[in-house]
Amino acid sequence: MTDPALLGPADVAAAAAVLEGIAVRTPVEDLAAGFAVKREDLQPVGAFKLRGAFHAASRLDAATRAAGLVTHSSGNHGRALAWVARRLGVPCTVVVPDDAVAAKVDAMASLGARLVPVPADDRESAAAEEVARTGGAFVPPYDHPHVIAGQGTVGAEILADRPDVEQVLVPVGGGGLISGIAAALRGSGVRVLGVEPELAGDAAASKRAGERVRFPRAQVAATAADGLRATVLGELTWPHVRDLVDDVVTVDEEAIADATRHLHACGVPCEASGAVATAGYRALGDADRARRTVAVVSGGNVDPAWLARVLAVGSGMPTSG
């Protein structure tokens, strides 16, 4: 039985009203017959994270917000929250794991965020320490109803722009984006399919086990899809994935690289995490690929060194490193 406490379309509609004029209504672009992509790489910060970060921050009272916003992030959420903080005129502190991509770290700093680097396993406790020290408000990267509702506006826009859509493919890290999209599409009859790297396949394992499964940090850190390196679904995102998501599949690193090359050739400059949903679509069987499908390109903040290697392979050029 579906948990009645889970979010639904009304929660997402309320978030959409807050985000009007803030988040870009990104296009849904056809790449092949029956297959389109939702271009969240076109957000001002290059990823969907702006939606949840702004919605959550806007729900805080002014006095709480004035003390500053605090989070932990490997890149896209921290960049989004720094953008939000600058717009609201408040400080922003981001606890950054030591395996974060350098380009994403630099992007957070360029928006004025104060960065606190820590070992990856210490980021949650370090963020709590920063909240206690500064009196600021913690804005989680995914496991909060206001964050989930904000991310869900991606799904609401897909349904509005493509009312005949049959299937939406979503990359899965901590589960905020897919939880929100599943909430937005709740009751619509649209199939929601999660896709994640094999190396970070905790959501797929959790769906099979019927309970949250945690993956080892060292294994998860090895995927090129750095935005999807969560080791376990959140306490709130897990029941959304369990009850509202039809299935979660995994793709290997070569499939992610192939999808990245394909999307870049189509004029979609995605990062590895942003290519994962398209990789999942390409791996489906014929019957599933026959469904009218939209895959979410979650972001375009690519690691330049990784991309150069991937595109060199696609061009037949020799690679190094």
Q: Are strands 191-197 and 247-251 parallel, antiparallel or unpaired?
A: parallel
Tell me how far apart the alpha carbons of residues 151 and 134 are, in angstroms, rounded to a whole number.
27
Nearest to 258 by CA among 284, 241, 276, 285: 276
Distance, C-alpha 21 to centroid of its chain? 21
Tell me how far apart the alpha carbons of residues 116 and 127 are, in angstroms, rounded to a whole number.
9
Q: Are strands 28-32 and 35-39 parallel, antiparallel or unpaired?
A: antiparallel
Tell me how far apart the alpha carbons of residues 300 and 46 are, in angstroms, rounded to a whole number.
5
Residue type for 210, please?
Answer: G
Q: Which residues are catalytic?
A: 49, 74
